[in-house]
């Protein structure tokens, strides 16, 4: 394979259409990244106003998903894309779904932020949220960067960050269970924190999907549901 390009079609409008869905996917990625950042911040800084803003943004993200998906369907109907063009369109259509789900998780986190802000009690679990939140945001940002440059190496590196996130998630779970055992009065609060870190772990999974889709666009290889070792054989 030579360098991946989505330009130089005989029909130049086709170039424009592919560029358009790429740009819009990046916009959506940026929006979702910001939404997630704010959601984590609203938990960590007990900021209900910010949480409500995150919830409101959800509708915009849904609309973006629908619009980009529509654009993809239109290109398929109009241009009958093949090879890299087809793979890009399929990827974008799947990626918007993953981004929308990340948006959903951000909204769930924001909902818990509001509940947590209304409850009194010791602020247990915030360190875990901050720590996991930082890793997850970094992973999502890396995945979007890799998409912008169609960088398979970066996508593979980012993909493996999910293992660390899963590990941190398990560690955080154990600590939260300890808090609940130490002080049963904290159970209500800690369960909310637990849902937050569960959402963060899910975001990691969606970011991983994005990375797999980048590999699919560039290499034409489907690396979903493979073990770590098998992935590296490619």
Q: Which residues bind another protein (CB under 8 A)?
A: 1-2, 8-11, 14, 79-87, 220
Which CB sits closer to another protein, 15 or 205?
15
For another protein, the closer of residues 149 and 185 by Cβ is 149
Count of alpha carbons within 13 angstroms of residue 164, beta-carbon side: 13
Residue with smaller CB distance to another protein, 85 or 168 = 85
Instruction: Return the residue matching tokens 């870190």.
Output: 197
Residue showing tokens 């800084």: 45
Shortest Cβ 85–another protein spacing (Å):
5
Nearest-10 Cα torsion for 145, 148, 154, 159: 70
Phi, then psi, of 187 in degrees rounded to 5:
-55, -50
For the bound state, the minimum distance from the C-beta of residue 44 to another protein, rounded and expressed in Å, comes to: 44
Q: Which residue has the tokens 């209304």?
A: 118
Q: How far is the CB of 217 from another protein (least distance, A)?
A: 11
Question: By C-beta, is 122 or 220 nearer to another protein?
Answer: 220
Least distance in Å: CB of 81 to another protein?
7
């Amino acid at each position: 394979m030579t360098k991946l390009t989505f330009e130089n079609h005989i029909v130049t409008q086709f170039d424009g259409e592919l560029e358009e869905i790429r740009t819009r996917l990046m916009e959506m990625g940026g929006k979702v990244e910001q939404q997630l950042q704010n959601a984590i911040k609203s938990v960590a800084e007990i900021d209900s106003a910010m949480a409500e803003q995150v919830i409101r943004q959800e509708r915009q993200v849904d609309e973006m998903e629908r619009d980009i998906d529509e654009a993809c369907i239109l290109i398929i109907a109009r241009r009958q894309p093949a090879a890299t063009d087809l793979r890009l369109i399929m990827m974008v259509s799947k990626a918007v779904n993953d981004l929308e789900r990340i948006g959903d998780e951000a909204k769930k986190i924001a909902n818990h932020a509001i509940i947590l802000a209304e409850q009194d009690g010791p602020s247990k679990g915030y360190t875990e949220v901050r720590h996991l939140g930082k890793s997850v945001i970094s992973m999502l940002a890396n995945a979007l960067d890799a998409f912008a440059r169609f960088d398979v190496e970066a996508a593979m590196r980012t993909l493996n960050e999910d293992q660390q996130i899963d590990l941190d998630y398990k560690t955080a779970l154990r600590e939260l269970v300890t808090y609940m055992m130490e002080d049963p009065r904290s159970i209500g609060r800690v369960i909310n924190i637990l849902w937050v870190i569960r959402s963060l772990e899910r975001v990691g999974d969606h970011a991983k999907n994005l990375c797999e889709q980048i590999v699919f666009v560039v290499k034409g290889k489907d690396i979903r549901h493979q073990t770590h070792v098998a992935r590296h054989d490619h």
